[in-house]
Amino acid sequence: MILPSMRNREIQPLKIPIAATLFDQWRKVRGTVCGQRRRPFAIRWEKLRDTAGSQNAEQESFAIQDLNDMESAGWLALKKNRRGQIERITIPLEAEPRWCAAFGFTPPVPNPDTARFRSHPWEPELAFCANSPPQIPFDELAALNAFLKNDGRDRPVVPIKERSLEIFGDEKRLDTLAGSTVLFAKDRLSLEILRCRIVPEPLAWLRGAQAGGPVLVLENAAAFDTFRRWDKEICPAFSAIIYGHGNTVRFRDGVLFLREIFAEIGGGRPVFYFGDLDPAGLRIPRTASDTAIKNNLPRIRPLLWAYRELCKKTPRPNNKNTGKQRAADSENADSENGMEMDETSSNEADLAWLEDNILIQFARDVFTSNRRIPQEALGWEHLKNIHADSV
């Protein structure tokens, strides 16, 4: 609301409603770039009047008088039509510090790299950096730009860490930047443009006894040995048997290596997983399956008959996160979305990975009671009695 004029007192913009509205409009438009513009801020009178909330002709008259008084005192400049009516109000660049002081406003310190971002000769994929620089050091963006400028788009494809070392002198930096949706987006950068690819973690595996069978992944080394022996001596069932490297992120991060295995065994096929019946034992294949699906690989499915056999065993207390065991496992802690995996709690997405409602409820009950069943409970002496007609 516009209040009566302050013209009979010393001009104090903070106490003049129309001045407060004018400064608020300036702050919204120029507050973050104070002192960095060549053209002064201006606003049409109609817009300023409506924003201030003029309710009657008297209030508008007081506001106009206040603006005239402030012009006389050098706070602003007015553009008027032939009839003397105000059309536009301008805050001169040299008056901006005076306005900021009057309203106790401290402009943010300009980024010293701003001028460099604007003037740098960016390649098309990084042209957005001139006006909307991302929160990435200028020198790193300039290094990416130099790679593109120097015929980088025509280079042979190499592992991402090799390209990262070449560009940044740090073999891991590009892995981090590749997760940026600001840099890596449509019409911007891509690993293909940078002529590099992510190399999946190699997975240890052996060819199975059934050339046309599915692939099996075992979480732990003992189970890997037992199922390989069962596949060879009792029931030829799998074309390849993979060691998932226990409770680590290796299988999740190495799931893309399935392409290499498929190439060796004659093409893609279903992939099954069998691990511990505990929260981490479900989260590993569930997150690996998510990664596989995003990369056009088969989803990782549970080896249901093995889990059903495992459910016949007695659950044991889940001590994986206590005492010395917690310290021993800390080096193998999983991480999802930057958070350390909680090995004693599960979520519904992990449980749903089991597919079978009876298994899901059984697992939920086991986890709720803070218990687990290690996959080693389905050992050789049990497995050797299971034949093809039982699976």
Query: Which pLDDT belongs to residue 131?
Result: 84
Q: Give residue 335's pLDDT.
A: 41
Q: Which domain CATH number covers 265?
A: 3.40.1360
**Is 109 contained in some domain?**
no
Task: Answer left, alpha or beta for residue 381, where phi above 0 means left and psi between -120 and 50 means alpha.
Answer: alpha
Q: How many domains does the chain have?
A: 3
Inside any domain, residue 107:
no
Q: Which of 160, 179, 197 is the last residue of a domain?
A: 197
**pLDDT tier at 133, thresholds 50, 70, 90:** confident
Residue bearing tokens 């189970």: 223
> What pLDDT score does 135 carry?
83
CATH number at residue 81: 1.10.10.10
Say how far apart CA 317 and CA 315 lie, in whole Å.
7
Residue 7 covered by a domain: no
DSSP secondary structure of 339-380:
EE--TT---HHHHHTT--HHHHHHHHHHHHTTEEB-GGGS-H
In a domain, 6, yes or no: no
Same domain membership, residue 149 and residue 290: no
The backbone torsions φ and ψ at residue 241, rounded to the nearest 5 degrees and listed phi first, read: -125, 125
Q: What's the pLDDT at 346?
A: 61
Is residue 359 domain-shared with residue 227, that is, in the same domain? Answer: yes
Provide the pLDDT confidence category of residue 323 given band limits of 50, 70 and 90. very low
Encoding tokens for residue 286?
A: 């569930």
Note whether 191 and 210 are same-domain residues: no
Q: Do 357 and 384 reside in the same domain of the chain? A: yes
Same domain? 191 vs 263: no
- Residue 181 tokens, joined: 């949706």
Task: Decide if 4 is inside a domain.
Answer: no
pLDDT bracket for residue 192 (50, 70, 90) = very high
In a domain, 63, yes or no: yes
* 63's tokens: 């506001």
Would you say residue 357 has pLDDT above 90?
yes
2-26 pLDDT per residue, tens: 444 444 457 888 889 999 999 999 9
3 found inside a domain: no
Name, of 8-17, 239-248, 265-274, the range with top average pLDDT.
265-274
3-state helix, strand, coil in the chain (%, to 5): 45, 10, 40
Does the structure show a pLDDT above 70 at 242?
A: yes
Q: What is the pLDDT of residue 249?
A: 76
Of 162, 197, 232, at which residue does a domain stop?
197
Residue 194 above 90 pLDDT? Answer: yes
Task: Identify whether residues 307 and 216 lie together within a single domain.
Answer: yes
Q: Are residues 179 and 136 in the same domain?
A: yes
Q: Are residues 339 and 250 in the same domain?
A: yes
**Range in 215-219, 255-259, 314-318 the model is least confident about:** 314-318
Average pLDDT over residues 317-339: 47
Mean pLDDT of the chain: 86
Same domain, 307 and 192: no
Domain span holding position 21: 13-102
For the entire predicted model, the pTM comes to 0.60
Range scoring the smallest mean pLDDT among 71-80, 190-199, 229-238, 333-342? 333-342
Q: What is the pLDDT of residues 72-126, one digit of tens each?
A: 999 999 999 999 999 999 999 999 999 999 998 887 766 667 778 888 999 999 9
Amino acid identity of residue 238, one-letter, is F
Please tell me whether residues 157 and 189 are part of one structural domain. yes
Of 34-48, 122-136, 171-185, least confident by mean pLDDT is: 34-48
Q: Which helix (H) or strand (E) holds 217?
A: strand 215-218
Domain boundary among 67, 102, 137: 102
Q: Of 104-118, 227-241, 307-321, 375-389, which one has max mean pLDDT?
A: 227-241
pLDDT at 111: 63
pLDDT recorded at residue 328 = 41
Distance CA 218, CA 134 (A): 42
Task: Kindly state whether residues 246 and 269 are assigned to the same domain.
Answer: yes
Whether residue 335 is found in the same domain as residue 212: yes
Report pLDDT for 6.
43
